[in-house]
Amino acid sequence: MKDKEQLQELTRYGVDAAEKGDFTGALHYLENAFRLADAPLVTSYLGYCQAKERGQVKQGANLCMSAIQRDPGNPVHYLNLGRIYLLVGQKGQAIQILRKGLKAGCDPRIVEALKNLGVRKEPVFAALSRDNPINKVAGLLFARLGFR
């Protein structure tokens, strides 16, 4: 029973530290929590903190993906993976994973992240690429006519 309480406390401190930007402190708490139990929330935040603080992007992304596989209904895991993608400049993948996170559940941090990214609207003709001239002209036309 004591281990469970300790795990919850370490997880809470680690998550709070990560959200406040103290990734060194967060790593300390989350690594200790991870030794006690491989819980999805701990795994997800540990992955994000490793990528942010230590530059271990691939390992961090793998930890977040593992958390998503084990707990797909928690949008926080998608948020953390999206943050990792943004760290390495993969905006398209970040947007895609953040949208999946919104489908899993509404988290205001995901909504805020998508707003900050300036998410583009879907192309008018989904069968054509975004760069196709037909899509570009149709998008501009629809925007001027107020349909988008």
- Which comes out higher in pLDDT, residue 74 or 1? 74
Segment 12-34, tens digit of pLDDT: 999 999 999 999 999 999 999 99
Q: Work out the number of other CB atoms within 10 angstroms of the CB of residue 48.
A: 28
Helices and strands, counts by H and E, the chain = 8, 0
Question: Could you report the per-residue pLDDT of 92-138, keeping only the tens digit for each?
Answer: 899 999 999 999 998 999 999 999 988 677 888 989 998 899 999 99
What's the token pair of residue 89?
């400049």
Q: What is the pLDDT of residue 51?
A: 97
Domains and CATH numbers, the chain: 2-117 (1.25.40.10), 121-148 (no CATH)
pLDDT at 42 (0 to 100)? 97
What's the pLDDT score for residue 119? 61
> Is residue 61 within 8 Å of 47, Cβ to Cβ?
yes
Q: What is the rounded distance in angstroms from the CA atom of residue 141 to the CA atom of residue 148? A: 9
The two three-digit tokens of residue 141, written as one number: 């036309």
* Predicted confidence (pLDDT) per residue in 41-93, tens digit: 999 999 999 999 999 999 999 999 999 999 999 999 999 999 999 999 999 89
Q: Which of 9, 65, 70 is nearest to 36 (CA)?
A: 9
Looking at residue 20, the DSSP 8-state letter turns out to be T
Q: For position 60, what pLDDT does the model report? A: 97
How far is it between the farthest Cα atoms of the chain?
A: 64
Count the Cβ atoms, other than its own, within 10 Å of residue 131: 8
CA 63 to chain centre: 12
Please name which of 74, 17, 82 lies closest in space to residue 51, comparing C-alpha atoms. 82
